[in-house]
């Protein structure tokens, strides 16, 4: 299977997980999918040692500055040096709890790509926006404002994560996921040209071992970004094979 058509299963551990969980995944079976594990920053170095070689590691956030007096922050270069090759940016928890704006996320993408990390850019509407029929408008402004114009689309992943589906056990209808993914693809091609036609667009929000195969079979779904279910070894192994 060519790199381009390979689907992605990314695990977002958030502020969860442990060395014990990492060790339990040391014999993660190989998969036709590209597997990216994004543990807390403190486990990135160990992930490189413990996880199978074909598993990629990602950070969950980075600072928008290359370095400097930003106590408690982690730079893109530090993530890269510790073994990460990907970084989740613009996650809805960062947007809502830490008040990250599209402009800040744009600057983080610039910094991440400068230091050779592939951003996994998260977009998606919250419940109020969905109920007001504004999902597409919100996603359009997030994509339009967070993606630098000259970004290399070979080194970018988009994740559509409806905020109301994250951690709730709720998922959109299959046809709704399909519609939004097509909308994202069309928007990217219209605004960035045909180079955006192959960018993986992941689905995230209560993905689990039961729904993963059906969601993965939607054309334009390039994989999954998995939160809660990625913390359960057996379930994550099943999802990784989807």
181 is catalytic: no
Which value, to the nearest 10 degrees, does the dihedral of the CA atoms of residues 31, 34, 35, 41 take? 160
Q: Please, which residues bridge with residue 9 across strands?
A: 35, 224
> Which residue, 16 or 18, has its beta carbon nearer to ligand PGA?
16
Shortest Cβ distance from residue 227 to ligand PGA (Å)? Answer: 2
Shortest Cβ distance from residue 157 to ligand PGA (Å)? Answer: 12
Distance CA 196, CA 144 (A): 13
Shortest Cβ distance from residue 190 to ligand PGA (Å)? Answer: 26
Shortest Cβ distance from residue 97 to ligand PGA (Å)? Answer: 12
Distance CA 49, CA 47 (A): 5
Length in residues, the chain = 242
Catalytic residue among 91, 93, 129, 181: 91
> Which residue, 129 or 161, has its beta carbon nearer to ligand PGA?
161
161 is catalytic: yes
> Which residue, 143 or 207, has its beta carbon nearer to ligand PGA?
207
Distance CA 22, CA 236 (A): 12
Catalytic residue among 64, 100, 161, 209: 161
* Binding residues vs ligand PGA (CB under 6 A): 12, 161, 166-167, 204-207, 225-229
> Which residue, 168 or 198, has its beta carbon nearer to ligand PGA?
168
Q: How far is CA 86 from CA 61, 113, 145, in A?
A: 10, 10, 20
Distance CA 92, CA 166 (A): 9
Main-chain dihedrals φ then ψ at residue 94, nearest 5 degrees:
-70, -40
Distance CA 51, CA 43 (A): 11
Active site residues: 91, 161
């Amino acid at each position: 299977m060519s790199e381009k058509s390979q689907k992605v299963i990314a695990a977002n551990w958030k502020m969860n997980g442990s060395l014990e969980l990492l060790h339990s995944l040391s014999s993660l079976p190989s998969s036709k999918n590209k597997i990216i594990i994004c543990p807390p920053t403190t486990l990135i170095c160990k992930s490189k040692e413990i996880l199978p070689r074909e598993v990629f590691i990602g950070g969950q956030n980075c600072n928008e500055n290359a370095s400097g007096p930003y106590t408690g922050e982690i730079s893109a270069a530090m993530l890269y040096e510790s073994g990460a090759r990907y970084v989740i940016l613009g996650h809805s928890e960062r947007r809502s709890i830490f008040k990250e704006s599209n402009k800040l996320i744009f600057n983080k993408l610039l910094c991440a790509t400068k230091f050779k990390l592939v951003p996994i850019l998260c977009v998606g509407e919250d419940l109020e926006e969905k109920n007001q029929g504004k999902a597409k408008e919100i996603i359009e402004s997030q994509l339009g404002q967070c993606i630098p114009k000259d970004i290399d689309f070979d080194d970018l992943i988009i994740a559509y994560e409806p905020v109301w589906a994250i951690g709730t056990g709720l998922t959109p209808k299959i046809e709704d996921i399909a519609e939004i993914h097509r909308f994202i693809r069309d928007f990217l091609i219209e605004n960035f040209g045909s180079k955006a036609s192959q960018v993986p667009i992941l689905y995230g929000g209560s993905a689990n071992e039961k729904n993963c195969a059906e969601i993965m079979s939607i054309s334009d779904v390039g994989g999954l970004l998995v939160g809660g279910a990625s913390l359960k070894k057996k379930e994550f192994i099943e999802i990784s094979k989807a």
